[in-house]
Structure formats: C-alpha cells, structure tokens
Amino acid sequence: MSKSSAPSQATLADPEVLQAKSSPTRDDDLWFDDGTLIVVAQNVEFRVYRNHLAERFEVFRDMLSFPQPTPSDSTDDLPCPAIHVTDSARDWRNVLRLLFHPEEQGLFVKRSDPSFDVVSACVRLGHKYQMTAVYQQAMAYLKYHFTADLLICKSRRNWVPPGFTLAHAIGVVNLARLTGEHTLLPIALMVCCWKEADIVEGFTYDDGEQEKLAHDDLGLCFAAKARLLKVTILAYFTTYTPPPPGSCELKDGDACRRALQGLADIAAREVQRATLPNPIVVLNYALTGSGPRLCNGCSTAVKSRQLERQRQNWKQLPSVLGIDVPGW
C-alpha cells in the first residue's frame, strides 16, 4: 500500500473544545460501555477499545502511546480519551463494524457480496491510515471484479460485483484515482460510459453525501463513449467477413457464405439495439447453434476471429478510453 499520501487528519480532541460544539450523537451499535477510546466523526461518537484500534491503525500507534487521562479524570460527557477525525461517520461505522463485530469479521472471505459502502470505506480509511490488512482485502476484491485479466473478465456474467450497481463504478473510478490503483480504471470507466445524462449527478449515499466523477473524468467519459461505440461496431462487422481460403469444409461454399451474411445481418440489428458500447463482447451466434449455421471449419475460423478481435480490443481499451495504464 502506498505510504506517500498526505498526513492523516486525526487528532486527540480537547474535551473543552468537544463540549463547546453541538452535542454529539452516540452510535448505539458501536458504543461499548467499557470502551477506552472515543472516535468522533461528523459529530458521531464511536466508543471502542484503544488497544484494538492501535493494533490495526498504524498511524494511531504513536499518538495513542502517550499517557492518556483515565476515565476518572474526564467529564461525564467525555468518559475516556477522544480522537477527532475528518472522515465521514459512514466510513468509520463500516470499518469499525468489521473490527469489533464478530459476525462481520472476515467479510471478504465469508461473503461474496459486500456492499460498495463497505468496500469503499475499507479502501479510503485503509489507505489514509495505513490499515494494511483491511486495505489489501478490499483492494483485492476490487481488482478481481474490475480486472486487468481478460480471461477473468470473460468468466463472469456481470461487469460489477454482486453488491454493486452500475452507478458504483463512479465510486470505483474515484477510489482508483485516490490510491493510484490505475488497473481499476478501464473497466470502471467503460461502465461509467454506459450511463446516460445522470452520470453528471453521480449517486447518493444513505447519509445524503453525493459521489460524483471529477470534471476531468466526466469529460473523459463523454469523449470516450463515441470511441467505444466505434470500436464496438467494428468488432461486430469484422467478425463475419468471409473466412480465410481453405477454412470451409463444404464442396460448395455458398451455404456458409449465405450463413455468414445472415450472421452479419443479425450483428447489424444487435448494433442498432446496443445501448452499452462494449468492445469486449463476444458474439456467439455461430458457436451456440442459434441463427444461421456454419460448417465446422467456418465456425472455427469465425471463433478464432472473434477471440482475436476481443484480445485486440482488450489490449487497446485504455487508449480507447483516453487513459494510460502501465502494464495493461
């Protein structure tokens, strides 16, 4: 995990300053009466265990190593030391649940569909506070679903994880920009390009906060959508040109030529209906038995052409999107 991010915004709070602010709200789910540390985020208090937190948040270790006032030294409203953070209460709630609720621990191992809220919280706080284990698990989950591996991509039925919507690709783009994990960008940006005008609005979390693309990425999507559509159309129409000489196993190749024309007509109709420009799509008409039938030789040639076109489109996907992804 990168250590080059800006210093984390976390400070030990002065009890008098905290009391001068509007009354905070306790999070009932994450308030342990015997807790030894209070985390305050967006005026929401989480009372947890100091040592448990210090073990997992690297940047808090030195801070929490200094002598702290005992509960008897504190006011009734501040029964133990407090740390004031600048992050959202939503993110802290999701991460602290992973740390302190047994049923939530090992989330990325036990469950196949963690929500975007949980994954993004783990990435943001894990990256900011050098919480390595949580960050690495969440990032590995994103890298599997927003993969740089064509074979993995083809093995899945959906372009986003089970617990995500297409709109959450906007958040994935922002996480990639935050962390420098640029291999997430091609798939995430392509999915963003499937959005209509509502891409400008982004999406809204349960607490009312909006997640939007940065202006540069928004402009990138507008420009890339036309290029994606062009490459997608090319993928459809170049697939069903006549196969190389010698491929057809029939004495009279007219039947396969007519079948290829029929498949080209089907592809044309598919392109007209297409609303999601996706140059990675595989056209399976000649391979599944539906539509016009080809002989084995022509079918093999078409399949080979499909796969080669797919590999080419996958390789050039970053450039089509207008981004640079080293090692893609």
Cβ distance 170 to 202 under 8 Å?
yes
pLDDT number for residue 254: 84
Q: What does the pLDDT look like over 217-230, one tens digit per residue?
A: 999 999 999 999 88
Joined together, the tokens standing for residue 114 give: 């963690």
Joined together, the tokens standing for residue 81 give: 């030391």
DSSP tag of 182: G
CATH 3.30.710.10 positions along the chain are 10-136
Domain boundaries 10-136, corresponding CATH code:
3.30.710.10
Go through 167-193 and write b for each residue having 16 or more CB atoms within 10 A of its CB, e for each that does not. Answer: bbbbbbbbbbbebebbbbbbbbbbbbb
pLDDT number for residue 109: 61
Give the whole-angstrom CA distance, residue 176 versus residue 174.
5
Give the whole-angstrom CA distance, residue 130 versus residue 71.
28
Q: Which of 44-53, 175-184, 209-218, 287-296 has the lowest mean pLDDT?
A: 287-296
Query: Could you give the C-alpha distances from 35 to 40, 99, 129, 162, 203, in angstroms and in order?
Result: 14, 14, 21, 35, 35
Q: What does the pLDDT look like over 254-284, one tens digit per residue?
A: 888 888 888 888 777 776 666 678 888 755 5
Q: C-alpha 16: how far from its chain's center? A: 41
